[in-house]
Structure 1
């Protein structure tokens, strides 16, 4: 049996948007709660176990849920395998998680209020944590832990970070954000004479979560790199810098500009080809008795088309200049990747702008032909008839 509550919508089980009692759903195996308020008005200082009678629960997700009236939430489930806590906020300060079969644990929330997680999960295989504060794990040996993804928005205490890393000593695949590395690099004395705890590490990835940090100048020190990798000489190491992130974003932006200009060129090519085809089909013009007015109207129409063509050419050239300016901001390797498509684009701009000019020229030639016909007819009106 599965139960899912998403912003008031209930699927396969009815669960109130505001829950203030322990649910007895013994057959339930999967529970997903979104934007649900968990409330308890009694025993506010004790742990509250809303799910304690869901003995067969294997998958539990709390997303954007609020807690009111109690400080501790207890999740003690013997068969729980997957637990996800995303933006769970409110009165709860402590999460007591006891799950002997828990394999995958996800905790996310960039809230400013610190939370404490008491985790007893000896079979934990994968841990994903994204938070404003450093995650503090109890002193347990997570021997089964293979994957850890740790992202701390603003780590301030290098000692806490080291304690967390030591708890993750059995991981094979580790991902850290660059801000953690910068925090450690500013306190390298804490790692003096401390060996690397990661003897089983196969992969280490480091990336920034903030593209711009005012005054940041701390880079990854040799001491931090050694602390993370010295016990696993064969581990692959990938580090993405803020410069790399900026280059990727700038490259994507330049590619989007190129795509946008290509679309505009395709539209203009189709438009000019349609106009030119119609002009070829019109043949010799037929004039009314008000020849001068016909010519005047044609020139007004041509003037409007000239102005429109001028605006289109200006827009195209302006976009091309913007793309060139964006390419100049890219690293040489990124420029080399985009240069062939930019060269092709320039050639297409040349073709399309020539078509726009040719279309205007055809208008002018047609008007000149109309004038010639008009003058010829005026000249012959006074000639004696034969």
Structure 2
């Protein structure tokens, strides 16, 4: 791309898509008017150095967009991803299996750090059995949270599954949810509930994450004939809300799950 493409002062929407290969972001961006950024197949750090080619720490990339409001990261690879933005309102992170492998090769201790004080909606879906968020600023405007962690990737051996999922992921997921106390609408998949159910000890030793929860929607996978609901996990998610007497919990319809689901 020409250099002027990365320093345009009038661009408001930008979508860069490399669906079948890695896109290492080397050139410095300076897009002060950018409102919406959609990246597919992006790589945010050098495999050997843990930094980008300019020597900057991961996460400095997003400081180039001071007015960014909507960020979508699809199938991206990273080691330690720091997402910061004073105006960011909507954040979606969707990581497919190939990107999960790539990130795991970087470091099994990958993490996502979010510093977005005006964030209102957070969506995460993907094969990352590591901390989704390791540290986050206070989010007074966050209302909507969507979490879906699919079953283990096809390549995942029983040994890796035991270490990553059973030993790490339940507690990491609990710590992540605890950082969204103001969310009033939460959508979560049954697979994600099953991960939480693997560690009942941590559920009992940690407070319920949502103090303002008004609406909880549970999603079932496609073509699911038998739905097993871990009610201890549902209780954990809902018992801390000040709206528990009027809360709406939407359970999946088995008939609808057989037709589609997610």
Q: Same fold (TM over 0.5)?
A: yes
Tell me which residue corresponds to 1:144. 141
Compare CA radii of gyration and give the structure with the larger one. 1
Tell me which residue corresponds to 2:184. 172
CA change 1:158–1:39 in 2 (3 A) is closer
Structure 1 gaps of 5+ residues are 1-14, 41-47, 250-386
TM superposition shift of 1:219: 3.8
TM superposition shift of 1:125: 0.2
Structure 2 gaps of 5+ residues are 51-57, 104-109, 152-164
Describe the superposition over 1:289-320 as per-residue Cα deviations: whole angstroms up to 9, x where unpaired. xxxxxxxxxxxxxxxxxxxxxxxxxxxxxxxx
SS of structure 1 residue aligned to 2:216: strand
Please, what TM-score do these two structures have when normalized by structure 2? 0.71
Question: Take 1:203 and 1:137, find their aligned partners in 2: how far apart are those partners?
Answer: 25
Describe the superposition over 1:222-268 as per-residue Cα deviations: whole angstroms up to 9, x where unpaired. 3x222111123121101226x4455436xxxxxxxxxxxxxxxxxxx
Tell me which residue corresponds to 1:248. 259
Tell me which residue corresponds to 1:28. 11
SS of structure 1 residue aligned to 2:177: helix
Question: Take 2:227 and 2:252, find their aligned partners in 1: how far apart are those partners?
Answer: 16
Question: Take 1:190 and 1:211, find their aligned partners in 2: how far apart are those partners?
Answer: 31
TM superposition shift of 1:88: 2.2
Tell me which residue corresponds to 1:78. 66
TM superposition shift of 1:30: 1.6
CA change 1:191–1:58 in 2 (3 A) is same
Q: Bigger shift: 27-36 or 78-87?
A: 27-36
Please, what TM-score do these two structures have when normalized by structure 1? 0.50
Question: Take 1:207 and 1:151, find their aligned partners in 2: how far apart are those partners?
Answer: 9
CA change 1:96–1:22 in 2 (3 A) is farther
TM superposition shift of 1:68: 7.7
TM superposition shift of 1:39: 3.8
Match of 1:131 among 98, 122, 126: 126
Question: Take 2:247 and 2:227, find their aligned partners in 1: how far apart are those partners?
Answer: 27
Describe the superposition over 1:72-126 as per-residue Cα deviations: whole angstroms up to 9, x where unpaired. 352112111111111124xx42332220110001111123234532221000000
User: Which one has more relative contact order, counting CA pairs under 8 Å at least 6 apart?
Assistant: 2
CA-atom RMSD, angstroms? 3.1
CA change 1:240–1:67 in 2 (3 A) is same
Tell me which residue corresponds to 2:161. none
TM superposition shift of 1:132: 0.7
CA change 1:167–1:244 in 2 (3 A) is farther
TM superposition shift of 1:210: 6.1
Match of 1:56 among 16, 20, 33: 33
SS of structure 1 residue aligned to 2:68: coil
Match of 2:193 among 147, 168, 181: 181
Question: Take 2:235 and 2:144, find their aligned partners in 1: how far apart are those partners?
Answer: 20
SS of structure 1 residue aligned to 2:217: strand
* Structure in which a larger fraction of residues adopt helix: 1
Question: Take 2:113 and 2:209, find their aligned partners in 1: how far apart are those partners?
Answer: 22
Contact 1:49/1:75 (8 A) holds in 2: no
CA change 1:138–1:145 in 2 (3 A) is same
Contact 1:32/1:60 (8 A) holds in 2: yes
Describe the superposition over 1:323-346 as per-residue Cα deviations: whole angstroms up to 9, x where unpaired. xxxxxxxxxxxxxxxxxxxxxxxx
Contact 2:11/2:34 (8 A) holds in 1: yes
